[in-house]
Each structure stands twice: as structure tokens, then as C-alpha cells.
Chains A and B, each alone.
Chain A
Amino acid sequence: MAIEVLIFYLLAGVAIAAAAGVVLARNPVHSAVSLVLSFVNVAAIYVMLRAEFLAVAQIIVYTGAIIVLVLFVLMLVQQQDLPEFHGGRPLRRAVGFLLGLALLAEVAAAILTRSLRGAPGSWTPEAVAAVGGNIQAIGRELYSVYMLPIQATALLLLAATIGALFLARPELIEERLAIARRLFTISLAHPRGVDPLQPVAELPAPQDGQLKLAGGDRALVMARSAEEFTEQPAWGEIRR
């Protein structure tokens, strides 16, 4: 057996095992680490397929940026919010695995009986070497034949950036206040006149049930004003 095949089996085996780890791991951080392992092995397989630029792009974009962002979000989300593994839904689990097996059988049949082959392209290894290498060849192709798609991709990325800015914008003070009112009881020492959202005249007088004293399972938060409470970045902390 050729050494390339051995290397391929090693890389592919680790990639598949790590991918299974993503699905099976109980802790989402372990899933993310497995995913990184899988992506790195797949990148190595790209090198075997003469796609050096994509291998590096895969590592920089996927493992260096996307999964790091996932880890970032995982750590920002409160750990107690993370749902338990599968959470007792055996039917869904069984159906998922069955569908997976069915698809695997189908795809295997398709691969093994494949008869269609496209016309071979002009970028033989020699042609790629003639323009300087994989990255130069991709550059030539990308900025001539695929000029319009790459402009569209630029537009897509811009739109995604704007969308992310909108989604992750600092919450409006009223939203934060609403969340805080749902989670805690805020005791405002001077409710009248200091709330920036409502003019003094429109501010309703505190009624029963609107401002609760500490009791039950709700925490009491002392603050001089709604602003003072909500302007803290880590408002989830209960300050006394």
C-alpha cells in the first residue's frame, strides 16, 4: 500500500473520530475542541489534494476565527443555561441515527456506482507550477472568471458585518431594564425624576406589585436610579 494511502487513512480516521466527538461530547467546549481537531486533519487532507491555499484558509478562517468565536460565545453564555445532553428525547435520537445510516447507505451506493465524469480541466499540476503555484493559479482564476461572484461575496460579508453589529449592539437601556425587571426586583430610591426614559409627569406612581420587596426567589437590587443599575456592563451581578 502506498504511503499516501496510509497517511490518508490516518488523517481521515482522526477527522471522523473527532467529528463524532463533536456530536457525542457532553460539554460544548469539548465539542469545539473536537471540531478544531477535525478541521486541522481535513486541512492536512487538502494539502494532499494539492489545495495548499485552501488548507491554510481553512485553518485561518475556520479554526482561527469561527471556532474561536464559538468558544467566545460559549464562555459568555452562562454555563447553567446550557441544556443537558440530549435531555431525554430518545425518539429524536433514534430517528436521527436512523436517518444518518440511511443517508450513508444511499451516498455509498451513489459513490460506488458513479459513472459520470466531467471533462478534465486545464489546470494540471504542470500548468499550476507554470504560473508559480496553487495560490497564483487560484488568484488568476478568481479575479478573471469569478470576478462577479467575489464582488458578491464582498457584499455578503459587508452585509453580515452590519447584521452582526445590529445584533450585538449594546442593548437599549429600556430593554436592559425590562430584562432586569423580569429577573430581579429593582428598588429605586428615587423613582421619580431620574428615569431617563420617561418624563417626570408620565412616570406612573409606584403601585403594589410593581416594585416588590425582597421575597420569594427574586433578588432585591438596590440602586439610586435605573440608569445607575443598568449602565454597568455586568448588570447580572447583584449589587447590594
Chain B
Amino acid sequence: MSELTTAHFLFLSAALFIIGMVGVLTRRNVLIIFMCVELMLNAVNVSFIGFAWEQNALTGQIFALFVIAVAAAEAVIGLGIVMALSRRLDTVDIDEVRQLRE
């Protein structure tokens, strides 16, 4: 592959997404899980922008822009919940948060 193709960007996107997914599945710290979710959202953006580049369309870029805005909203709420968690339960370990189960 001597020239940049969409496949390059799709593979980058897939790699980032999967690393983020593995992080969500294996880590226990809420904040690290949160960061991995951001990583996954970002990976999706790479795909969107890659397709926009391939198709000479701005739709992908605008979609990515909305993803960023939604990620910001999600960050605000997510971090608020983490703060509330650490205040109420004195922990940010996702396995310790099982008040509804017990």
C-alpha cells in the first residue's frame, strides 16, 4: 500500500475502538472505563472523517462534530456521577457499586 486509502483509516479506527472496548471490559476504575469510552467515541470519529474524505462529503465531519458535542455532554454527566459515587460510597471501583443487587 503505497498510497493512503480509506482502509488505513478504518484499520486505525478499528484498533482504537477495540483497545477502548478491551479497557471497558477489563478495568475496574470508573474513571479509566470512562476514558476508554471516550477512546471508543474518538475511534468512531476517525471512521466518519475517513469516509468523509473518501466521498468528498461533509456529512461525516458533521457527524463527528455532533459526536464530540455529545461526548462533552456525556463527560459532564459521567464525571458528575463519579463525583457523587466517590462521595456517597467512598469508592470508584465499579465492582463495589452493587447496592441495587444486594
Interface residues of A (CB under 8 A from B): 1-2, 4-5, 8, 12, 15-16, 19-20, 22-23, 28, 31-32, 35, 38-39, 42, 45-46, 48-51, 53-54, 57-58, 61-62, 65-67, 69-70, 73-74, 76-78, 81-83, 86-87, 89, 92-93, 95-97, 99-100, 103-104, 107-108, 111-112, 114, 117-125, 127, 137-138, 141-142, 146, 149, 153, 156-157, 159-161, 163-164, 166-168, 171, 179
8 Å CB contact of B69 from A4, A153, A159: A153
Residue of B22, B39, B64, B83 with highest tally of chain A CB at under 10 A? B22
Residue of B nearest to A183 (CB): B90
Residue of B nearest to A66 (CB): B75
Residues in chain B near residue A22, CB distance under 8 A? 19-20, 23, 32, 35-36, 39
Interchain nearest-CB distance for A5 vs B (Å):
6
Tell me, yes or no, whether B56 is within 8 Å of chain A by CB: yes
| Given A49-B50, A92-B26, A157 contacting B69 (CB threshold 8 A) | yes
For the A-B complex, the count of residue pairs with Cβ-Cβ distances under 8 Å equals: 253
| Given A163-B76, A167-B80, A16 contacting B19 (CB threshold 8 A) | yes
Contact A100 B22 (CB under 8 A): yes
C-alpha gap A74/B87 in the complex (Å):
13
Interchain nearest-CB distance for B34 vs A (Å):
7
Interface SS of chain A: helix, strand, loop or mixed? helix
Contact A51 B49 (CB under 8 A): yes
